[in-house]
Structure 1
Amino acid sequence: MAGRILDSSIQEVREKAKIEDIVSQYVTLRNGGGGSLKGLCPFHDEKSPSFHVTPSRGYFHCFGCGEGGDVIAFVMKIDALNFGETVERLADKVGVQLKREEGGEPQGPRGPGRGKLVEANKLAWEFYAEQLNSADASVARKFLSDRDFDRTVAEQFGLGFAPTDGKSLHKHLRARGFSDEELVVAGLCRQNGWDVFQSRLLWPIREAGGDVLGFGARKLFDDDRMAGKYVNTAETPIYKKSHVLYGIDMARKPMRETGQAVIVEGYTDVMACHLSGVTTAVASCGTSFTSDHGQIVRRFIADFKGSHGEVIFTFDGDKAGQAAAMKVFNEDQSFSSQTYVVVAPDGMDPCDLRLREGETAVRDLIAARKPLYEFVLRNLVGAYDLNRADSRVDALREGARLVASVRDASKVGAFTRELASLVGVDIDEARRAVGAAARRAKPGETPAAAQGTGRESPSLRDPRYAYERETLKVLLQHPLVVGRTTHDLSGVDFTHPGYRAVWERVEELGGLSAGSADASWVPRLSDVPNPALRSLIGELAVDPMPVVGTPDEAYVLNWTARLQELTIQRQIEDVRSRLQRAEGDAVEGLFEELNQLERRRRSMRDRLVGD
């Protein structure tokens, strides 16, 4: 057995493996000042970057979750490797020849290291690529040419062909010094010596850094006995289907530059998009897109010019496509990015669209993206006959249930407005329906409109929600003062899911006019089945305020007016966003709406200054 790696070799790896280069393969790093770089932590979900890398010290630290260490610690953590495997991997990357102690302590049974598995897959890819030019691969070349992919394109994407005899790869790699065990563990050959892939067109699946981890294979011949038109490498120590995306090695740089990721369904769709200029396209490999895939994408597009980037999914317009959209909608709530969807005409995928209508059509398809929630809501509401009153009620109830299931409070307001518009009801009616749906949520569910605390929602002490918190504190502790000072507070003013739930409880009991100075006010509010909401109401009712005795109206106005000013600002930003996409007569109406909002904001500001 090989001995322990010498400390001198480990130190050489640390020195040559620049931490900023390694980390940037997983995290988008930007200048953080003071000689440090910063980005979103890959070890926990966050929207504001707290992950710092200090190249001069070769060290990283996250102020959010506390993870930290050198380049070896980073790779161990992010790729779930042990110390030895990590050193070997980094040594392979930076060209360090590891030296070991002679006569080291015997080691327990252990499979091939990552370096060997990556090398085997690399050589297999080179072998397959050569075979694409063989006589046996004529069917594979025809498959590509029928889709307008010529030899140059095949080389660009590294395509290959698995020979028909079934043992060529095994023979080739055995001659290069690999053992049967290494080839089996790498997912390239079977125990009996036969190649895993035979008579198939192959795509190399790489990690972001460029290492080949496995292959995707397409059926070409009718007598192919392997099940499935498309199959992928079975899971190995280096290939995990939920942790890989086809095309990520090509797309990662454009993703960082544009803050955009396009998710397509197949390998040829990725090719078609890249050839059409949509170089941010990737695809999952043999599985649906999951939150794990979302984390991979997020590392490259997040924190783009102060935003969290955008993820665009392509779907068919049929029932299967709608079901896929619904699944992504549920997963989408774990993303920080804005999520969009495109549906190609006549059920065409990007590959078909490029073939029929050209590369411009592919670019136009992606540019015509629509918000995912709009697509999902439209399909849901579209199943009802909105010309009938009873169907409108059913559509509103079903749509409200969907909106109430959203965990991200910042999205609920937009979803509710869209629902009201689609069904054709007043916005307040839609808000009431969403609130009612939230209160009917099953035990254990945490819809944004009902939840009060927990890991799914932002901290109740987050400074962003200070005006919401202080307004509710006054409302619960001194409702009569609030009632005299303002009468136009509404649910739209509360963006934290917990605080919105408190306000909706107030509305449920009659609104501001229902509050009284007697001792029954808070107990009545607290009489709810949701324990988190009950606890939050109690907390707000006893949390001290920075005034002694009953607050005056100026104090109340300071919180309520500023809270409403924030609401107006969000509405202004929404109108400005719609203006960017508007055309024709709609532009004039939006400009008028924007002017009205600006006048309201100035009036609110004047009122604050006057008081």
Structure 2
Amino acid sequence: MKSRLYAAHAEASSFYRRQLVESPGGWAAGHLRSRGLGAVLASESDWQVGYAPDGWSRLVGHLRKAGFDDVEIVAAGLAFVTSNGYLVDRFRDRIMFVAHDVEVRPVGFIGRSDSNRLRYLNTRNTEIYTKARTLIGVDSQVERLRSGAVPVFVEGPMDAPAVGLAGERWAGLACGGTAITREQAVMARWNARTGKVVVALDGDLGGRTGAVRSLPVLSEVFDEVLFARLPDKQDPAALHAVGGGRLNEALGSAIPLADFAIEVELTKWGNVLDHLSGQVNAVRAVAPLVASLPAGRVAAAVARLARAVDLDEEVVSNEVVAAVDRGQRQGRQARNRRPAGGPVVAAEVEQLDCSRSP
């Protein structure tokens, strides 16, 4: 059954792509051009962005003609049965972005609306699709990633091609929200030659909070985790649309995500840094983040933190050492709790590497 679901998504992706390319005067093509993404409209583009036409069952009719039965179409999440028993397309009048799994198979979609309806609509969970285990853009940039481009995690599907068009050294991968999962991180690392990654979530509270929360997950998988600080209330697609290389500049100026996380955490303690207990508690909150930095950068971070909270460097250093010890104990406990043969990141990546096509 799974093979039929993959095949249905491949057929749907081709159908949506044709609808977009053959309707250059429609609102979908116009919207993409207005966001500086006109290049994805070219028939030779690697970006297989599409368009779900308006109408109740345009895709259903196409899939039936292609040999798929109604049970398969519903199981794939591409349509649903109404109360009157009609089979209706799930996606209608939307720009369509394909979600791929770890084997770069099309398994779902995110559709963007141009009306007052829900702006983004995902495929419902199916036997082959869960949003947390997919990425938007990996299929379009797999060769670029394997040639050394830096993976860039973004929120929305419009942001992924924006990053890809900002410069050859970047590969935009949309996680479909502010939470970057372990599965998504491993998928990106498997396909990337470099051990570096950039987090470029939206320039708002949700995006910045999501970036900080992604640090432990990404640090397990990548050697260097960077943060691109976008202007307030801007996302990568909006910054790309402004032009002038603004997005490329923001990505190129990315700082270590741990540094940003320290900055965010210290801000929370700003009102209590005028007395000793507040200073010590602030240091204890930040110490694990300092401990997560590369060894060569810890001493400088300790010095900056000591100045920020007005404490002796030795006090701060002791708290960082204690944080390292706690982290090592927790790591040993986690390994002891892991079932025999349970996954670890290095093994996951190595296993996936073995199945790569040459």
> Shorter-chain TM-score category?
0.7 to 0.9
- SS of residue in 1 equivalent to 2:79: coil
Contact 1:243/1:293, CA 8 A, preserved across alignment: yes
Counterpart selection for 2:240 from 345, 354, 365:
354
Q: Distance in 1 between matches of 2:203 and 2:283?
A: 20
The Cα shift of 1:210 comes to 4.5
| Structure 2 counterpart of 1:295 | 186
Superposition CA RMSD, Å: 3.2
- SS of residue in 2 equivalent to 1:238: coil
Contact 2:202/2:236, CA 8 A, preserved across alignment: no
Counterpart selection for 1:450 from 326, 333, 339:
326
Query: Against the structure 1 CA distance between its residues 117 and 339, is the aligned structure 2 distance closer, same or farther, given a 3 Å change threshold?
Result: same
Counterpart selection for 1:230 from 99, 120, 143:
120
Contact 2:24/2:30, CA 8 A, preserved across alignment: no
Structure of higher RCO (CA pairs closer than 8 Å, 6+ residues apart): 2
Contact 1:310/1:338, CA 8 A, preserved across alignment: yes
Q: TM-score, normalised by structure 1?
A: 0.48
The Cα shift of 1:422 comes to 3.6
Q: Does 2:252 match 1:364?
A: no
| Structure 1 counterpart of 2:283 | 399
Contact 1:246/1:267, CA 8 A, preserved across alignment: yes
Q: Distance in 1 between matches of 2:273 and 2:39?
A: 60
| Structure 2 counterpart of 1:121 | 9
Q: Does 2:103 match 1:212?
A: no
| Structure 1 counterpart of 2:162 | 272
Deviations 1:108-164 (A, max 9, x none): xxxx2x322122111111211222256697221222122122265464222222122
| Structure 1 counterpart of 2:341 | none
Query: Against the structure 1 CA distance between its residues 314 and 422, is the aligned structure 2 distance closer, same or farther, given a 3 Å change threshold?
Result: farther
Q: Distance in 2 between matches of 1:137 and 1:215?
A: 23
The Cα shift of 1:361 comes to 1.9
Query: Against the structure 1 CA distance between its residues 458 and 184, is the aligned structure 2 distance closer, same or farther, given a 3 Å change threshold?
Result: closer
The Cα shift of 1:193 comes to 0.8
The Cα shift of 1:213 comes to 1.7
Q: Distance in 2 between matches of 1:389 and 1:214?
A: 49
| Structure 2 counterpart of 1:190 | 80
% identity of equivalent residues:
25
- SS of residue in 2 equivalent to 1:263: strand
Q: Which amino acid aligns with 1:288?
A: A
Q: Distance in 2 between matches of 1:166 and 1:211?
A: 26
- SS of residue in 2 equivalent to 1:194: strand
| Structure 2 counterpart of 1:75 | none
Q: Which amino acid aligns with 2:97?
A: W
| Structure 2 counterpart of 1:175 | 65
How does 1:324-403 map onto structure 2 within 5 Å? 324-358=210-244, 360-385=245-270, 390=274, 394-403=278-287
Q: TM-score, normalised by structure 2?
A: 0.79
Q: Which amino acid aligns with 2:325?
A: A
- SS of residue in 1 equivalent to 2:109: strand
Q: Which amino acid aligns with 2:205?
A: K
Contact 1:420/1:430, CA 8 A, preserved across alignment: yes
Q: Distance in 2 between matches of 1:389 and 1:135?
A: 60
Q: Which amino acid aligns with 1:295?
A: V
Contact 2:138/2:173, CA 8 A, preserved across alignment: yes
The structure having more radius of gyration, on CA atoms, is 1
Q: Which amino acid aligns with 2:305?
A: L
The Cα shift of 1:417 comes to 4.3
Q: Which amino acid aligns with 1:204?
A: V
Q: Which amino acid aligns with 1:165?
A: G
Contact 2:273/2:309, CA 8 A, preserved across alignment: no
Q: Distance in 1 between matches of 2:142 and 2:180?
A: 17
Deviates more, 1:389-398 or 1:364-373: 389-398
| Structure 1 counterpart of 2:174 | 283
Contact 1:162/1:198, CA 8 A, preserved across alignment: yes
Deviations 1:400-422 (A, max 9, x none): 22323788596693553442354
Contact 2:158/2:237, CA 8 A, preserved across alignment: yes
Task: Work out the number of aligned pairs and report it.
Answer: 326
The Cα shift of 1:274 comes to 0.9
Q: Distance in 2 between matches of 1:247 and 1:212?
A: 11
Q: Which amino acid aligns with 2:154?
A: V
